[in-house]
Amino acid sequence: MSFVDLLPELSLAEKASLLSGDGDWWTQAVPRLGLPSIELGDGPHGLRTETGVDMVWVPSTCFPMLSALAATW
């Protein structure tokens, strides 16, 4: 089922809940429709995530900054 199919199935309250998070960097889940919580990330050049109450960092991915990459030409 695609997102387009799920949209009419969401209640107004469920749609509004998707505008807020579930803790740090996670969306709200909608278990009724099988929609899991999704981890989000920001940053211009990679993704870093943390786990547990202590927010311990786990291995991450880092990509070259586009401005630095452009300067190599």
SS3 8: helix
Per-residue pLDDT of the chain (73 residues; tens, 9 = 90+): 787 888 999 999 999 998 888 877 788 999 999 999 888 776 666 666 766 667 666 676 777 778 887 888 7
CA distances from 14 to 19, 28, 32, 51 (A): 9, 9, 10, 26
Taking the whole predicted model, whether its pTM rises above 0.75 is answered as: no
